[in-house]
Chains A and B, each alone.
Chain A
Amino acid sequence: MVPTSWYLALSAVLFAIGAVGVLVRRNIIVVFMAIELMLNAVNLTFVAFARQLGTIDGQVIVFFVMTVAAAEAAVGLAIIIAAFRNRPTVNADELAVLRW
């Protein structure tokens, strides 16, 4: 039996990889995918903890996270499309209109 902490460590690594992706990639769609990766890393901890505690609650939370991820993906991609219409780029640097 693999100890729960190993799963957690694995999720930590995946999470960090996702974070690095958010940081270094300029293609905003890839950034989104990195975010999905981070979400999934967290899901792994939930499921691992649920197993550790022998309860089902952690898995339910994963369900909710998936819902949120789906909604986020839909809205986020819609935003990308809308932005792309105005400025044909998905480069995060060039979409920096939020600065003052």
Chain B
Amino acid sequence: MHGGEIIPTSTLWLIPALPLAGLLLAIVFGDRKRLVTIVAPGVVGIAFAVALASVVTLLRAPAGARLVDDVYPWIVAGPFRADVAFRVDALAAVMVLIVTGVGFLIHVYSVGYMAHDESLPRFFAYLNLFMFAMLLLVLADNLVVLFVGWEGVGLCSYLLIGFWYEKDENAAAGKKAFVVNRIGDLGFVLGLLLLAWSTAANGAISLDVAHVEEHVHLLAPQTATAVALLLLVGAAGKSAQLPLYVWLPDAMAGPTPVSALIHAATMVTAGIYMIARLHVVFLASPFALEVVAIVGAATALFAATIALVQTDIKKVLAYSTVSQLGFMVLALGVGAFATAIFHVMTHAFFKALLFLGAGSVIHGMSGEQDVSQMGGLREKMPITWWTFLVGTLAIAGAPGFAGFFSKDEILAHTWGTGHYALWAVGAFTAGLTAFYMFRLLFLTFFGELRAAPEIAHHVHESPPVMTVPLVILAALSIVGGWVGLPEGWLWGPAFGRFLAPVTGHSALGEHGAGVETALMLVATLLAAGGATLAYVFYVRMPGLPYLLAWRLKPVYELLVGKYWIDELYDAVVVRPYVALSNLLWRIVDQMMIDGAVNGVATTVLANGQLWRYVQDGNVQHYALVFLGGAIALLSYYLVR
């Protein structure tokens, strides 16, 4: 797993540096829109090229090798040392290609989507900053550097969610995202601290990935569990798992390309990546892995149920993202790290596609996001329709599409490691996924357009700068899964083999190919069932959903209210905290402490008032006191 050949290189720093340069240019030339729209996607494109070149180098090297670029010593204090260093191994290679590739497409798309926004340069500045942070995260050879990217992407998320800051909800959503992420980061930091001290050896404390991998055996079992669970908290914050998922749906307040890039394809997968990167720690604690798996499965199911009834097109996709991230975490929990990354990749393709498609719809609908106002867009927006269909099929797990292979692999591993209950949850969730995605598809593109006439009149297909990325992503959503076929099919799980030097081979168990095929069949049937049900509900018999909602009113309201988790947090955490703060300020600070201080002052003052009568201004009275003093002194000399 560790070891392997190290290929020193000095070009990796260019990959994050390029978007950073783009950011600086966007700041300097902020008033020249055209230049920014060329530079910002341009630098990301170049970064993609550099990343591709690095990956090619890696592919030529023997398996298990890694490129390392040690840029400069960053924090050196006593026995602790953290360098700004980058690495490209198989894991980072996959991530860096996803980030730069999908990122580039979304940059291009944004040029069209944001064309009419006066703050376009600011948008691209943020977007480039995000690319910088995300690349730092995936390329980091040191966990402290990884943390820089980790918080950096959180910052960009904050800024981009609140991009249209003039609306209070947006600013509040941004803050919520940052704060919830910070709670996760807190776990992450504590995990890192514990990890750092527990793997200290040979007079050195280090959070270099290689150092951690090498000394992970120093972890006592309980320590490993503690570290792993703390890291899981971090991952739950970033990757929107229970119970820290609440920020992601709100994050949809940002511009749609942001939702696609940050809140679907890249940033939210950082938690998955981090666990995969540190899988050796998790492997040291079977208990923690079990927890990971349960959290993942629970999140997948939980979010999918909420997605069933949402009417905002982006909210549906947001909950679907949470659900899909749950699948990935489930994969991590059953030890299928490569599979999780595989799903990260396919998900990046089809979810970016879906979000961009949704953005295209919103763009065409003059900003309308409510699916109850849409319908029948098939004819008016044909490219969007076809690509959206591809995305829906991919996420629903239609055979041959990208999502089919990755989701299948997750379920197979879950079954294969003996987690039958979790498998059932996963398979059921897959059915739900198909249902709500097709529901979305039907509501948006089938039937009659339900919008107001003036909006309906303006509905149009998006410009090529937006549709070309859609088409490319659609293509990837079809073929992207073919790199990881089940064992025995053609070239088999090439993707897993590529990652194996980093993540290790995950045991599929002894069930063999037959079982996997059977599982695949079950999941596909469930998905088909979900899709069919959606067809019945929303195309054939549109009255049925209302009837059902009326019949199952409590359940329906629970789902529409998103289980009232936000309200719960508000009542249990936010309000008590504000009340406590006020109490501390007004009672403890102002009354008790300052009261004591002022009380001392008042006592002194009162005392002074008393003595003031002695100080009556009559010099002769003072002189008498003086005389008394002299007499006292003399008496002392006399008596002595």
Contacts and interface: CB of A to CB of B under 8 A. Distances in A.
Interface of A: 19, 22-24, 92-93, 96-100
Contact of A99 (B615, B620, B623): B615
Contacts of A93: 618
A92 B619 contact: yes
Interface in B114-166: none
A22 B625 CA distance: 13
A99 B627 contact: no
B17 to A, nearest CB: 70
A23 B612 CA distance: 21
A19 B627 CA distance: 8
A97 B617 contact: yes
Contacts of A19: 623, 627
B626 to A, nearest CB: 9
Contacts of A96: 616-619
25 contacts: A19-B623, A19-B627, A22-B620, A22-B623, A23-B620, A23-B624, A23-B627, A24-B620, A92-B618, A92-B619, A92-B620, A93-B618, A96-B616, A96-B617, A96-B618, A97-B617, A98-B617, A98-B619, A99-B615, A99-B616, A99-B617, A99-B618, A100-B612, A100-B615, A100-B617
Interface residues of B, number: 10
Interface of B: 612, 615-620, 623-624, 627
Q: Give the dominant DSSP class at B's interface.
A: helix
Given A22-B620, A96-B617, A99-B617, 5 more contacts: A19-B623, A23-B627, A93-B618, A96-B619, A100-B617
Contacts of B619: 92, 96, 98
Tell me if A's interface is mostly helix, strand, loop or mixed.
helix
Nearest to A95: B619
Nearest to B618: A96
Contacts of B627: 19, 23
A48 B624 CA distance: 28
Nearest to A28: B619
A98 B620 CA distance: 13
A100 B623 CA distance: 18
Contacts of B623: 19, 22-23
A92 B623 CA distance: 13
A93 B617 CA distance: 8
A99 B627 CA distance: 20
A96 B620 CA distance: 10
A96 B624 CA distance: 16
A6 to B, nearest CB: 18
A8 to B, nearest CB: 13
Contacts of B616: 96, 99
A92 B616 CA distance: 13
A97 B618 CA distance: 9
